[in-house]
């Protein structure tokens, strides 16, 4: 008997709950943008899009990546918020929006971050880039390395500000990926994206994201504008336990980017929901382990398993588990032993490995011998 072949056999366990007819989801609103994408922040599930993978000039949306690189430096202990940065003439002379820092003055990293995030200061962006990278070109290479690590393979950054350059581009999908990373990795710094105004050098400037005043559920993130890029906005909002991220680029006015972003956010919350399906460390199934100390091992997922689906469809979900017919010890905690699939009306929404929730070492000589004989008859 070929036991190697038997280990490839799978059995299927499917849990059905009372099925309903799928609720209709209308088409996403038309918002007059050249490109957009709307995703759920927790799962990354795409809720709506229009040409999300075309390369576009990102304008000041670039500063999201500048901030991400600074946050990484803070997390790694390379800099602190209290570090004082000596402002170069190069940073002071940078064109475009500014926080009005002065040559030779020393400004804290925290103030520069607020000047960049709230006031969209190009001068602050360059000062931060020079402080961390030594020069803006070196810092831009760091930005690209982080972009690659995040899977932003359709974007390239030449500077820290978003000032026009033919080789400086991004996609709406990549920018959504970046926004999601900032929110999940750096919640302690993400809160600055909801600051409505910031005062530096006696000059108070408001946050250009006017959605912060229009919609209380909106708490970020960043506007952008150049002649080539048009009016752009990355926005994020949280209602109850669901957060969505919208990226809108290439609209014709500041009002159009706000109205379009609001329409997408409302659409996401109205027609979709994100639900916890299985909690981390919860036993979902158990599997027979041959030649082991314990006859059975609990299986589950190591991180909370969420799924995004049309609102009202939760009771129609199906869970399918695929587990090899024969599993043998030793088994290590966290070892993948099968797969679980979450399906809705025959379509797979999510697949994750089923993992052992505890160690199950090899059994005694007697247990191994007994099970070895039993397997001949299996």
pLDDT of residue 22: 58
**Cis status, amide bond into 221, omega within 30 of 0:** yes
Give the pair of three-digit tokens for residue 253.
């006015």
**Beta carbons of 322 and 10 less than 8 angstroms apart:** yes
C-beta separation of 48 from 267 below 8 A: yes
- 60 annotated active-site: yes
**List 49, 60, 261, 292, catalytic entry:** 60
Residues 6+ apart with CB under 8 A from 237: 211, 215, 217, 218, 219, 243, 244, 265, 269
Known catalytic residue at 313? no
Question: Which entry of 35, 49, 88, 120 is annotated as an active-site residue?
Answer: 120
Strands 106-108, 84-86: pairing kind: antiparallel
pLDDT the model gives residue 291:
86
Bridge partners of 249, per DSSP, are 35
Among 42, 63, 222, 291, the one annotated catalytic = 63
Mean pLDDT by 10 residues, the chain (378 residues): 31 39 84 97 98 98 98 98 98 96 97 98 98 98 98 98 97 98 98 97 96 97 96 98 97 97 98 96 91 92 96 93 91 95 92 95 76 69
For residue 132, give the nearest of 177, 71, 64 by alpha carbon.
71
Contacts by residues 114-117 (CB-CB < 8 Å, ≥ 24 positions apart): 114/192, 114/195, 114/198, 114/200, 115/198, 115/200, 116/63, 116/66, 116/67, 117/63, 117/67, 117/192, 117/193, 117/195, 117/222
pLDDT at 378: 65
Do 215 and 265 touch, CB atoms closer than 8 A? yes
The owner of tokens 């899009």 is 49
- pLDDT of 75 reads 98
Amino acid 371: pLDDT: 60
Which pLDDT value is given to residue 21? 59
CB half-sphere exposure, 201, CA atoms < 13 A: 16
Instruction: State the pTM of this model.
Output: 0.90
| DSSP state for residue 59 in the 8-state scheme | G
Domains in the chain, start-ordered, CATH in brackets? 3-20+277-377 (2.60.410.10), 35-251 (3.40.710.10)
Q: For residue 22, how many other CB atoms are within 10 A of its CB? A: 14
**For this structure, is 120 an active site residue?**
yes
- CB-side exposure of 121: number of CA atoms within 13 Å? 31
């Amino acid at each position: 008997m070929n036991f190697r072949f038997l280990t490839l056999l799978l059995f299927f366990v499917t849990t059905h709950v009372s099925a309903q007819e799928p609720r209709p989801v209308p088409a996403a609103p038309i918002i007059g943008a050249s490109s957009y994408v709307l995703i759920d922040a927790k799962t990354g599930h795409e809720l709506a899009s229009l040409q999300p993978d075309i390369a576009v000039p990102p304008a000041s949306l670039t500063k999201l990546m500048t901030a991400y690189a600074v946050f990484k430096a803070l997390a790694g202990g390379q800099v602190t918020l209290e570090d004082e940065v000596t402002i170069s003439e190069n940073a002071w002379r940078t064109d475009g929006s500014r926080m009005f820092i002065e040559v030779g003055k020393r400004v804290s990293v925290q103030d520069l971050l607020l000047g960049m995030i709230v006031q969209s200061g190009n001068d602050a962006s360059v000062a931060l880039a020079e402080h961390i990278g030594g020069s803006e070109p070196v810092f831009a290479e760091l930005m690209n390395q982080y972009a690659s690590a995040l899977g932003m393979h359709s974007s390239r950054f030449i500077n820290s500000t978003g000032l026009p350059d033919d080789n400086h581009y991004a996609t709406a999908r990549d920018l959504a990926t970046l926004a999601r990373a900032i929110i999940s990795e750096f919640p302690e710094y993400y809160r600055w994206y909801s600051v409505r105004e910031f005062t530096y050098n006696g000059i108070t400037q408001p946050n250009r994201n006017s959605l912060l005043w229009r919609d209380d559920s909106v708490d970020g993130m960043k506007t952008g504008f150049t002649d080539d890029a048009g009016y752009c906005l990355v926005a994020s909002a949280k209602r109850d336990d669901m957060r969505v991220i919208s990226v809108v680029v290439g609209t014709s006015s500041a009002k159009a980017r706000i109205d379009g972003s609001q329409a997408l956010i409302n659409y996401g919350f109205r027609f979709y929901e994100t639900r916890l399906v299985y909690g981390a460390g919860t036993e979902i199934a158990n599997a027979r382990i041959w030649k082991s100390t314990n006859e059975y091992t609990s299986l589950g997922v190591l991180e909370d398993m969420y799924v995004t689906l049309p609102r009202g469809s939760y009771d129609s979900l199906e869970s399918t588990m695929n587990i090899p017919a024969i599993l043998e010890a030793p088994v290590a905690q966290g070892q993948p032993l099968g797969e679980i699939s979450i399906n809705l009306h025959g379509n797979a929404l999510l697949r994750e490995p089923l993992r052992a929730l505890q160690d199950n070492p090899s059994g005694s000589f007697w247990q191994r011998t007994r099970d070895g004989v039993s397997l001949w008859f299996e």
